Amino acid sequence: MRFENDNGALVCRHNGETLRIEAWGKDSLRVRSTMLGAFTGNDWALSETPAPAQAAVTVDSEDHWVGDGTIDKREIASIVNGRLKAVVNFAGVVSFYRDDKLFLREYYRMYDGTLSRGSRCLKVVGREWKGVIGGTEYSLNVKFESDPSEKIFGMGQYQHGLLDQKGCVLELAQRNSQISVPFAVSSLGYGFLWNNPAVGRVTFGKNYTEWIARATREMDYYITVADTPKEILANYTAATGRADMFPEDRMGLWQCKLRYRTQEEVLSVARRYRDEGIKIDQIVIDFFHWTVQGDWKFDKTYWPDPKAMVDELHSMGIKVIVSVWPSVDRKSENFQPMMERGLLIRTERGAAQTYDYQGDCVEIDPFNPETRRYVWEVCKRNYADYGIDAFWLDNSEPDYGVYDFENYRYFAGPALAVSNLYPQMYSRAFYDEMKKTGKPVVNLLRCAWAGSQKYGNVIWSGDIPSTFESFAEQLCCGLNMGLAGIPWWTTDIGGFMTDDVNDPAFRQLLIRWYQFAVYSAVLRMHGDRGPYNIPPLDDRDWGGGYLHTGQPNELWSYGEDNYKIMRKYYDIRIGMHDYIKRLYEQAHTDGSPLIRAMFYEFPEDPKCWQLQDQYMFGDRYLVAPILHLDQFEREVYLPAGSWTLTSTGKRYAGGQTVTVDAPIDYMPVFEKD
């Protein structure tokens, strides 16, 4: 092993590998290695200029047992940035110390007298590179020792119903309702970013932690230490970016359904809300308002005057957001120009097709800057120039017909190496241009990656079933998304897939979900509501009239009693406007999410690290959602302090678990005194 100090960075060379460790902001280090002789220069999620840091690099020696009873001296090197130290021994094993206390070390099992424990004849190294046959990429397997008592949070959105990711195996890949944002917050006081958009897997096992990239040119991760999760997230978002300030005029109710089929439907809904005295901040025009996928324009048969529609909505103080998909049908007027110019995803074998829902489609390649320009120019001409305020960038994983990642290739390389970055690049086709107008950019996406928070992305949790089980899963998803640095997160109220809107069980679920949504970042009505007994508008197999629509999904659509409850909670939301504005300001200034795991606000309370069925909405409100059918009371744990139950005004001392009533028109919420 050869060590050198490269302008404050520790560089180690051994067996053809170059390892580089350098300061990257406050109490943080970036660790990279490659077998190719030179680094790519890609910063990936680490897009922000790190704060100046004075790292100290030293080269020393340590005792080494040779095997014949004698002791030899071998070089060892370290780099210190504030409270964080990395030590590399003569075999290249990296260990990390917080305030000189070991908290993480590479997993290494070799018979060479190193720090290896257990069986040293396994011949397992911490960084395993295997060349991808016929390419310049490698598959990479990085292992770390595991502390079985550790808890792991963040990592994005996985539909497994667990807040603590310890013991989980997580696919590092984007799918509908699965979002890989590979930043982990540890109960041991550190944060870890796998700064690599390759498709792969992470296993947070009891015996070891294992990160796998199926195709990559370099290892790249970032590690930071602090006393609290809030400080860890502040360090991380300083390195990856923070959300813009959310506009006040979209902090209220967003109205949506699958799907408003005509211009007149949209206007009639908006007028009814106005007549009911309910201000909606934004109305959403969902998919298949267009002619053909990839035309990115209104079907004039049903949307004859989009500008007049937008002008009337604006006169009511309502913003307008329109669905845009990345799929381009072969029948689209844009297919041939985009295919010829190389602006679509390429397949490695077989037919050029990546998506087959309602058409024979190939999806755009947003890694290509020319693609981003092309798509924006079309959407500007056909939407933004009419006054459309925002874009619903659906299917942004992208949603492949088959998730055969090795069969797809982008402008930036094979999908196996970069695919997880797709949703972020897709969003930038719009954000980068919209930002030039000086107006706030708030677009809606179904997927994200590390750093997506800085590109005007409201992320929703995907096409999920309308069940109480799914509702509970979404709470864990939202809390972990926030801990992964994504503060603008929402769900389809009531879930997306409903068979029968008249089912009393569904209506109960809808109310409980709506109550939760009031105490979340974005209050948004949406869903695909059965039964599907509404005939199509025409008999064409294309255009805005042929696809089905769901049942009504406005606040008044579910009976007078439910309407009263939703109006009551709408008023609660509007009454919290100034408070919600402050929470968005915190997200902008320090990266704090709006919905927060209990330990985020109470890190010294061991009980709070165990809870996943209640949360903090900011620092003031403790929210206890009702997550089961016919549940009309529940237990709530109150941390230290004094708490007031908002339904009765009764005060409770903290440090105890209490049982409180939860009638259908009330979700337990405690205000911290």
Pairing of strands 253-255, 523-525: parallel
Known catalytic residue at 147: no
State the alpha helices, DSSP H only, in 404-501.
Answer: 415-418, 422-434, 468-483
The closest of 438, 327, 460, 443 to 383, measured between CA atoms, is: 443
- Kindly state the tokens that stand for 115: 């720090």
Is residue 394 flagged as an active site residue?
yes
Determine which one of 210, 281, 463, 554 is catalytic: 463
Sign of the CA dihedral running 628, 259, 280, 447: positive
Q: Which two tokens stand for residue 342?
A: 């190389």
Cα Rg for the chain, rounded, in angstroms? 26
Q: Which residues contact 535 (CB under 8 A, 6 or more apart)?
A: none
| Beta carbons of 456 and 487 less than 8 angstroms apart | no
CA distance to 225, 320, 561, 667, per residue, from 631 (Å): 41, 37, 18, 11
CB-CB contact of 114 with 121 (8 Å): no
| DSSP per-residue string spanning 267-292 | HHHHHHHHHHT--EEEEEE-SS-BSS
Q: Both ends of the chain: CA-CA distance in Å?
A: 58
Query: Which residue matches tokens 């397992």?
Result: 124
Residue whose pair of structure tokens reads 């047992």 in the numeric block: 65
Nearest CA to 240 among 178, 193, 184?
193
Burial status of residue 510 (CB atoms within 10 A of its CB: 0-12, 13-18, 19 or more): buried
Q: Which segments of 15-161 are extended strands (E)?
A: 17-23, 28-34, 56-65, 71-81, 84-88, 94-98, 101-105, 127-131, 138-145, 152-157
The catalytically annotated residue of 220, 397, 492, 528 is 397
By DSSP bridging, strand 152-157 and strand 127-131 are unpaired
- 447/456 Cα distance (integer angstroms): 13
Q: Indicate the SS3 state at residue 422.
A: helix
From the list 244, 394, 492, 554, the catalytic residue is 394
**Three-class secondary structure of residue 7 per DSSP:** coil
Judge whether 106 and 113 are in contact, CB under 8 Å.
no
| Residue 397 annotated in active site | yes
369: preceding bond cis by omega (within 30 degrees): no
What is the C-alpha separation between 80 and 49, in angstroms, rounded? 19
Name the residue type at position 494.
Answer: G
For residue 116 the two structure tokens come to: 């290896």
595 vs 578: CA distance, rounded Å: 16
State how far the Cα of 429 lies from the Cα of 425, in Å rounded to an integer.
Answer: 7
Question: Which positions are annotated as active-site residues?
Answer: 394, 397, 463
